[in-house]
Each structure stands twice: as structure tokens, then as C-alpha cells.
Structure 1
């Protein structure tokens, strides 16, 4: 259906959609939205029949495909499983905060429904004023998101300049200390500062020493940490990602460098974009250091030297055995094979090319648990890629074309 007329059906069927963005928000927000919609219907004397209620809890309005409640609603409306004239929301922001607001309205219109909002008293979206209101609702939804992001960013920058923690969890080896103030005769939290945890300082120093003086990468450092008898078991296992993040964090020598990257959502995928250095926020005396700046710089020099050897090898050397980055993309099951011991996604790797006795050039590809390399998992099994691929394809064929 390409066009739906408002008020054509005197007793329309409607569905209600409610959403809240974060688990940190009021957990009763969806129920409150649903109640507001029903109360507005009653107050306006509208005897509309509610045939279904959909909701998404703790999911950003900037996502579209990752909202199961919304997707179920759209799927049932499109397929005809459920017939409804209108989709009712408290405010348009509950439906979407993305740049695809108009597209979402069109998708629901194709499914035979119009979007009506309680805060507009369910105004006719097909009238001249209704179309103008729809435009303003969509603009308000996306603009409010942009304005909030701007205000949050401004507040974080100001906090960093004053040595206050801007938010999120503290890095390994630190804890957040509450700084209290008296306001209007009551003690309340003013801000938090980053403070080293004394009993963990030696672990951080150990990590940077292995990197700077032994030229160990994250994998070899993880093995050392996970097998070290003096490190408490509740801190294990260390992973490559954790160690790599520690090694690149300036906070360990007391400096906060914030704003190197920004993130956004495009086509339901979070993307990261680098920010020019002149826009970074830097506080060289942000917190008490755990290591010296010299040790951190030595570690970074080692990391960069290893990176250069991989990305810019000697032009006179034989590179026939080097495997290019992105080798995992050659294998169709990448990201779908899961380690039975730890639940990590197993990664594919291939040996250097070799020649068989028959003169054929081959290489051996297999899947392995990335946690085993760092000592975080005991699963040392390698699964041959060709065998697994053929087995899965045969299983799919058997399911699709049973004998």
C-alpha cells in the first residue's frame, strides 16, 4: 500500500511502540510511554483498538536493524500477519533518532500504517500542518541527539582540563576516588579523580618493562601474565586487547590525551574516525603516574618498530612467505566458528605456501582459538579450514535438499 488516508477507518486498529535508550534510564520509561498513549486516546475520546504493543529496552534510537521489537513490528505489518492503520508513539524520538527518519516513515507507510504521536494529539500527518509537523518531529529528533552530544562533549573536555574523570570505567591499575563537597548543608558527590591501586602498580610496571626492554608484544606479555604465580587468579586471564590498550594509554605516566577518535553509527554499524591532533584535549598532569614517561616512550618505540617491520618490510627481502592482512576474509566461516572452551570467535590463519611431492603449491589453513596464544584458554586444537567448510556446506545441502 503506497498511500494511507487518515481517518478513513472510523474504528482503526493501532499498534503501540515504546523504547528507552539505555539501561541507566528509568526502567519504567516504556510503561510510562504506553500509559501516556492510552491516556491520550481516552482523553480525546478515540475508541481505537490496540491490537499489539512492541517495545525495545536499552537500545539507542540511532540503531534501526538492531531493535528486535521494532523489527518484529515492521515484519508483522509488512507480511500481513498483523493489520493496523496507525503506529502510535509517545514522541517521534521514541521511534527514531537517526538521520533516516523520513525513510522509516516511508517504510511504515508501505506497510499500510501511519506514524502518529501522542504529544501532537495524534494529528493528521497527511494535512499541510501535519506534514510540517512530521518534518519538525524528524528534525527535532536528530537535532536533539546532536545537541546532547555537543553538550556532553563540552562537559567532558572541561572535566579533563580540571583533572576530573570524564566518565566510563577506569583503566587497569586505577580506581576512581570520589571527591565530595558540601552544598546547601548536604554532602554530595562533586567529581571523581583517577588514583593508582598500590597493589597493582608492579603488574603495570612489569607489562611496560617486558614491552620496552624485552621487546615483547601483547601475546607474549599475556603468556607471562597468565602464568605468573604472584598475579591473583581473579585478574586472569589477560587478553591481547587488554594488554595492547594498556601499552598505548598515556594515563600510566600521568597524562590524559582525549579525543583522538570519534565514533558514530552508519547503517547500524558503529564506525570510528580519527580526529586531527590539534583538536585533542591534553592534560599533562591529569593523575598520579604509575610508570615514568621515558619507559612508556621506550615501549612505544618498540611497538612502532614491530609495526614498521610488518607494514613496510625490506624491499630487497623475499616476501613470498608473508601473509597479507585480511587473510581471514578469504574464508567464509570467519567469525562463525566458536571455541567450545571459552566462547571466543576462532580466527583463521594460513601457513606459508609449500610445494607437495606432486608439484602442487598449497598452504594449510585452519581455525584456532586466539585465547590459546596468550594463555587465556587451554584449547590448543586447530580445525582444518577446508574440512570444516566442506562439512558445513554439506550440512546446509542436506537441510535444504533432503533425500
Structure 2
């Protein structure tokens, strides 16, 4: 072997608690390199990475990229043993990665294996046996770990994610002593188990409210998300509620007192683990069953093309100039549903009998009226600010008011749309023209404003897409000119 041969080391450890540590592997590899006059030029490391797949092993992927590079940065790859490639259930996978190195001119040496480096039939057989042993070890270890996790679930101990709204965690030691944990606080020792108990009363009340509101006639996930966002209510992670988070919450069996952990994966025979009645439930059984029945019916409710068109015809009879925004306010059916069935919402409306010429005339008139009302409201705002000593000038080509220090306030008007819940105003999240503040005017059916909201652009972008007749707290609505001036001054002084 040449004294100038360059070598690369590849080391992997599947977890922090594995006995075969990174340091142990590197010590053995360095000793081998010194004994065989090899210069160790690079080390590729995958710490705390599973050997069952390569997708999250950046060290191994980097090694394979470099070995195929020209010029190749090393001549030999040193590995502790065959299992460091991975404990792949398909034993050909490890053989493939070794073959990739050899095919590009880099020899692979397992420094702690008894067989040599020659490519004779006996060595090939021993490698195959070792790879099969590594795969079987991984399979048996997985079975044992899953059995232990199943046992923990049956005893009422949590496995997996953080608890949802309404629950908090307690750490339970071997003696049964309990101590509360913060949301992201870790266990004190490896032997402690985690149990879920009821959290603060306001969280428990919130969870019950969400289930009750959805179970009520007319309750929907979208409507719930809209109301919670409008009220400024946050999830356990401090984020606004969304349709996805509410849907997950309504399906979470922990609220009914059951732990469910794991999921059925493609190609795996073992189902999710579950234990019924191991947590103190937050939701009564009758309410839980009502919510699950409603979710099931809505999930599998499929309207025919004729039913979808009939729904549009009924809405067009009440409003011949129906638009997509009107449909969003009503909550009739998603635009995606009509696009999938008919190619586009416009095509579906045409089949339902909408007069496009009438719609265009109506839209043109709304633009003309909206422009005239917008000009008047802008003049009134400019006059109001001037009377209160705030220097302000209009932008020549947009509804932008330029106030002191050159800061820009966008005036945005919104007219009401009818919905089953009453009138609603669309909050259009425009990005242009650029402004630091937004003065949102909630208009009535005529030329007057029902209320105003003065917000920074960041706060405005976080608003829900629709505003009800009674503006929620996060809109911070005001109803007089003096309040508009006071709010603007407070924002300008920040």
C-alpha cells in the first residue's frame, strides 16, 4: 500500500445513548490508518441518525457525492464495520453503496471485521451474512421498542407529540411521584414517563367550546377558524387557529380519554397503538360521538354535478350578479370543487344561467360608485387630519395618504356581502401600493363608513379574511373621526 494513499472515514451512531459512539469508531479508524500508512484527509459523520434509510443522512450523501467527484479527494473509505453503512431491511442497499465507492476507484475497508479486503467469494459471503444480521438486528430492535411503547401507552403514558389545547404534561418517576412540565421542558431522567392531565381551566373551556360550536347546527371548521382568529384566540403553540389545526383537534381522541400513537405506514403490517380510557376526558362521550358523526358525514358527502349547479341556480335567483367573492362570503362550495367538476367557476356559473353581460354592467357601476365614494372618503380624511394639525397629502395615483416623516397610510374600503351569519366584509390583503399603515373602512350599504380600523401593515396581514358585523377585538375598530386621529398619532409615535 502506498505511503501517500489518502483515506476518508465514515462514522454513524443511531442515538446519543448507543454504546458504539462516534469517538470509539474514530479511534479504531485512526489506529488502522496509522498502522497501514494512510493519511486520514476527511471524516463524514452522521450522529444520531437511523440506519434504516439514507434520506436524512447528510454525511453519507456527502461521501457518495465526493467519491464520484473528479478528481476524487481520497483513495480509501474506512468504516468501523458493515453495519455502519446502515441496517437496511433490503440488504442489497448497503452492498450498493459499497459498490458505488469501488466503482469510482475508492476501496472500502471495514477496520473491525475479521475478513480481509480481497474480493474473494468467501469475503462476499461473509459480508452478505453480516448485512443480513444487521437487518435482522434492526427488525428485532424495532419490535422490542414498539412492544415497550405499546406497554407505556396502555399504562397511560404519552408517546409522541406535545399535548393539544386543554392538556398539560406531568413527569412521573419510578416511585409514582409527579411534577408538572412546561410546554417545551424536557424530562429530568430517561426513566421518567410523561402523562397528560387537564391544563388551565380556560384551555379546557376553550376546547369544550370548540367541540360544542362545531356540533351545533350550522357549525363548520371554517367558521370556527374565522371566529377564533377574529377573537385573537391562539393555539397551545401561540399560533392563530386554522382549519387544519381545528380539524386535527376535533379528531384527537385524547379529548375522549384515549391515547392513539403511531400510524399505519405503507408496507408495514402493524397498526397504530391505542389505549382507551387512560386519560381523564375533557369532552363528554355524547358530544364526542356527535362531532365524529358530523365529521364523517361531511368527509364522505359528495354532491353530484347536477346538485352543484342547482346550488348555484338558487343563489343566482337571489343575486343575479353573483361573484366569486359573494360565494366565499356565503360559504357555498369551494372554488376548487367547481373547477374540478366544470373546469372553472365561471363555466359553472354560465351553466347555472348567470348573465355575464349583466354581471359586467353591475361590476362597472360598482367600480364607478366605489371610486366616487372613495374620493369623498379620502377628502374627508384629509380634511379631518388637517383640522387636527397632522400634515397629510394624497398620492396622485393611488389611495395613499403621505403623512409626517414621509410615512404612508393606505386607505382601503370594503363593502358588505350577504352571508347566512349576516353581513360580512372582505379583508383584501393587497401588497401594492406599498404602505406602512392601513386605514380599513368598513362601509355600509350606502356611501358612509360603518367603522374604521387603523393598523400597521404587519397586523393587517394577520387579520382573518372576513370581518363580521360586530368587528372582533383584533380589528380594534373605531367609530369617530377623533378616534381615527388618536389611533394614527399613537402609531406614528411608535
Match of 2:455 in 1: none
8 A contact 1:217–1:303 mirrored in 2:
no
The alignment partner of 1:93 has SS state of helix
Match of 2:228 in 1: 225
Match of 2:65 in 1: 75
Deviation by residue 1:334-385 (Cα, 9 ceiling, x = unmatched)? xxxxxxxxxxxxxxxx951437989xxxxxxxxx99xxxxx994597xxxxx
Give the distance between the partners of 1:323 and 1:93, measured in 2 at CA: 52
Give the length in aligned residue pairs.
Answer: 318
Does the alignment pair 1:283 with 2:275? Answer: yes
Give the distance between the partners of 1:179 and 1:19, measured in 2 at CA: 33
Mapping 1:1-400, distance limit 5 Å: 12-22=5-15, 29-42=21-34, 45-98=35-88, 99=90, 100-120=93-113, 123-182=116-175, 189=191, 191-199=193-201, 200-229=203-232, 235-258=238-261, 261-263=263-265, 272=266, 281-309=273-301, 312-314=302-304, 316-318=306-308, 352-354=345-347, 377-378=462-463
Deviation by residue 1:133-174 (Cα, 9 ceiling, x = unmatched)? 321232233222212211111111122222233444333322
Would the alpha carbon gap of residues 274 and 28 (structure 1) be closer, same or farther in structure 2, given more than 3 Å must change? closer
Deviation by residue 1:298-353 (Cα, 9 ceiling, x = unmatched)? 111221222122xx32465356998778x89xxxxxxxxxxxxxxxxxxxxx9514
8 A contact 2:230–2:463 mirrored in 1:
no
Deviation by residue 1:228-252 (Cα, 9 ceiling, x = unmatched)? 2565896332233322221111110
Moved more, 232-241 or 24-33: 24-33
8 A contact 2:215–2:287 mirrored in 1:
yes
Unaligned runs of 5+ in 2: 177-188, 313-333, 358-428, 431-459, 466-494
Unaligned runs of 5+ in 1: 1-6, 264-271, 329-349, 359-367, 370-374, 381-403
Deviation by residue 1:208-247 (Cα, 9 ceiling, x = unmatched)? 1122115544433223223325658963322333222211
Deviation at 1:68, TM superposition (A): 2.9
8 A contact 1:181–1:188 mirrored in 2:
no
Deviation at 1:287, TM superposition (A): 0.7
Give the distance between the partners of 1:274 and 1:128, measured in 2 at CA: 34
Higher gyration radius (CA): 2
8 A contact 1:239–1:376 mirrored in 2:
no
Give the distance between the partners of 2:165 and 2:461, measured in 1 at CA: 17
Moved more, 127-136 or 248-257: 127-136
| RMSD (CA atoms) | 3.9
8 A contact 1:226–1:236 mirrored in 2:
no
Match of 1:384 in 2: none
The alignment partner of 2:297 has SS state of helix
Give the distance between the partners of 2:233 and 2:356, measured in 1 at CA: 50
Give the distance between the partners of 2:284 and 2:171, measured in 1 at CA: 26
The alignment partner of 1:62 has SS state of coil
Larger relative contact order, structure 1 or 2 (CA cutoff 8 Å, min sep 6): 1
Would the alpha carbon gap of residues 302 and 89 (structure 1) be closer, same or farther in structure 2, given more than 3 Å must change? same
8 A contact 2:165–2:204 mirrored in 1:
no
